[in-house]
Structure 1
């Protein structure tokens, strides 16, 4: 059976895939921790975060084809893998990819405006406030309702979001012009996505004519909050 290579979102870890992996049945899931996440060493700031992340991912990849799944920033990594190593992936499924550079300019500008409080907080070394703002846009539930250890965990790693900004905002690795128009790709979004999420999907669809889009659940964290629905789409993509 073809193994699954699953790439988690920023500020999460390989453990985030557990419920979905169980729902999908007897498959071998390869779920590397990205730098600074889970059991992986922290990102030392030298070079680009995506290059360091892909080094870990490629070291974990088995020989032969795999089914590729990515969530959020992990979905951007999946797109980078698709353009760098297209022959390695039997299927590609993206869950709310955050390659903001794919969105039309107006949507990108409005998203940048939404992120101004985050940037100001981080510039002022207010990591707690930066994490709160980011969680409010992309996390699940109210910040005040999160247990204190989780809030500390997110604040301690919030600099990693800034480290990825040139990659997701400006596509410095040139992913978009290299997307293979002949590949079938599945994208999963929440049922009523915010403008920027929908605009990213639309931008990808213009470059990937065979893209298949599904809507389900609420919120950005669909691999944890819409497990059964996401599992059904994955199983269809793998059949």
Structure 2
């Protein structure tokens, strides 16, 4: 793993915020959200390893797994309580930080958290099986297509060739995160962990997202002390990209709750 590319959108210096992007995304997609927040938070983000302008992800024999590495990078940005926003994979990293250090979080906004361990789902298990089979047989492009056609903003085959190539290169990272997302290797769901988060939490989902997302939201909300729920009409998994107005508005609501 080499250099990490950072992004910063200046705002209220008394409201530091950190935003964490999804698998196969980049920090850049928080730009439209930051502009709509109109400076009410001083927002920072970064490209995860193997994403955007950051260096590639290479796991060493003794090094941390991908999810742990991203969590450690995110934690390195926190030097005082802040507003934490995460989407998809980034939401699971944000939740992991909040469980480990609730005192570091001023507010927590979870957009489409993909902590599959929280809600068993037959369709999601089949999706995982298909992607794993493609990867095992060396069909990385088919694996990327199977992933993006469910979780992307548009079908894989509608994307320009450079984007398809990038996603095909990134698809092994999906498998690298599976132990944490599907089997909770990081023990995010441990007894008392979610219950210890006393910051205001907002869980945002898209109306058209896979059913597993709604199940995860239900399971997490049941255990959180101070939680709000929001569903964005007509939206799917990539709602920060497709519905920035609604996403920014809801993040602002949670900032105000803190």
CA–CA distance in structure 2, aligned partners of residues 155 and 194 of structure 1: 22
State the partner residue of 2:194. 179
Measured against aligned partners, the alpha-carbon deviations of 1:130-175 in whole angstroms (never above 9, x if no partner) come to 1000001100112221111100110011110000000000111111
State the partner residue of 2:237. 220
Q: Compare the two structures and name the one with the higher helix fraction.
A: 1
State the partner residue of 2:8. none
Measured against aligned partners, the alpha-carbon deviations of 1:55-75 in whole angstroms (never above 9, x if no partner) come to 2212233x2221000000000
State the partner residue of 2:181. 168
Q: Which runs of 5+ in 1 are unaligned?
A: none
The SS at the match of 2:58 is coil
Residue pairs, 1:189-228, within 5 angstroms: 189-216=205-232, 217-228=234-245
Match of 1:135 among 148, 151, 154: 148
CA–CA distance in structure 1, aligned partners of residues 197 and 140 of structure 2: 43
The SS at the match of 1:31 is strand
Residue pairs, 1:63-78, within 5 angstroms: 63-78=79-94
Instruction: Point out the more displaced range, 50-59 or 87-96.
Output: 50-59
Q: How many residues are matched?
A: 235
The answer to whether residue 96 in structure 2 is matched with residue 83 in structure 1 is no
Compute the RMSD of aligned alpha carbons: 1.4
Instruction: Point out the more displaced range, 189-198 or 122-131.
Output: 189-198
Question: TM-score under structure 2 normalisation?
Answer: 0.87
Residue pairs, 1:40-119, within 5 angstroms: 40-46=54-60, 47-61=64-78, 63-103=79-119, 105=120, 107=121, 109-119=122-132
Deviation, 1:188, is: 0.3
Question: TM-score under structure 1 normalisation?
Answer: 0.93
The answer to whether residue 49 in structure 2 is matched with residue 30 in structure 1 is no
Instruction: Point out the more displaced range, 139-148 or 206-215.
Output: 206-215
CA–CA distance in structure 2, aligned partners of residues 97 and 173 of structure 1: 15
Deviation, 1:102, is: 0.6
Match of 2:250 among 226, 233, 237: 233
